[in-house]
Amino acid sequence: MTVGIPIRRIWPTPATPPLDDAELTALYGRADRPHLRVNFVASLDGAVTLDGYSAGLSGEPDKRIFGLLRMLCDGLLVAAGTLRHEGYRAVRLSEPRRAWRRERGLPEYPTLVVVSGSLDLDPAQAAFADAPVRPVVLTHAGAEPPPGLTDVAELVRCGDERVDLAAGLAELHRRGLGQVLCEGGPHLFGALTAADLVDELCLTVAPLLAGAGPGRITAGDPGGPRELPLRHVLAADDGVLMLRHARDAAGPPPAGAAPPA
């Protein structure tokens, strides 16, 4: 089934007919081993926000891929600053997408995983208070939680004075959260890149110039360059491009037919 603005594959093998959700799901899929996928949207000139928020760059095609990637993941990784600034709500999926997960032996919802060194988090935020699955917070040994946080989230301490992301991901994998989708922000992506933990980047390029200003999809201490080959390019009929870069040439295996959003 194809809904909304048509999306077509233009590389490596052009596919003229629009891709339906089953075909899109097969293109992204689930890996057969622990896998960290990062998803971002940016303007042509590299901005990650418009008027301070990423939503200004994200149109219907990006939201369609965004929803499919959430359906495919076990854990949804996000930095505390992004959670606060973007006003994250509880992770929800449509009933057809929950059924898709159940049919494959997956929990109905992915687990929200928040990275926070300071634990400056509000337990009343909907992302915690209304979560269908108890969220996990990755932090370090010295961080003190605010009152009520441990009532709505599980703290996982990895690292003595700062969050050890490699140890945190290893613990997620131990808990069965092998397919992790990171939605940012830029500093978390930068830290994951510096630690050589990123397996895949899905980047939506919006066809607009945001103008001068700060902000790239990655931030923080620079590390050495890392090759991440291009695996496919999709184009929506409104001019949006969706690129998938991944270490593994084969990519994740097909995940089966997907339901409508």
Positions of the chain with pLDDT under 50: 1, 254
Angle in degrees, CA 198, 93, 8, rounded to 5: 65
Amino acid 216: pLDDT: 84
Tokens of 178: 């092998």
Fold of the CATH domain 74-196:
Dihydrofolate Reductase, subunit A (3.40.430)
Query: At 151, is the secondary structure helix, strand, or coil?
Result: helix
Give 75's strand partners.
Answer: 111, 180
H/E run at residue 38 = strand 35-43
CA–CA gap between residue 34 and residue 21 (Å, rounded):
24
Residues of the chain with CATH 3.40.430.10: 74-196
Residue 80 has what pLDDT? 98
Residue 57 makes CB contacts below 8 A (sequence gap 6+) with 41, 42, 43, 47, 48, 49, 50, 204, 206, 208, 210
Distance CA 53, CA 29 (A): 28
Q: CA 140, CA 157: separation in Å to the nearest integer?
A: 5
Q: What is residue 249's predicted lDDT score, i.e. its pLDDT?
A: 64
What is the predicted pLDDT for the residue at 223? Answer: 76
Q: Is residue 21 packed enough to be buried (19+ CB in 10 Å), middle (13-18) or exposed (0-12)? A: buried
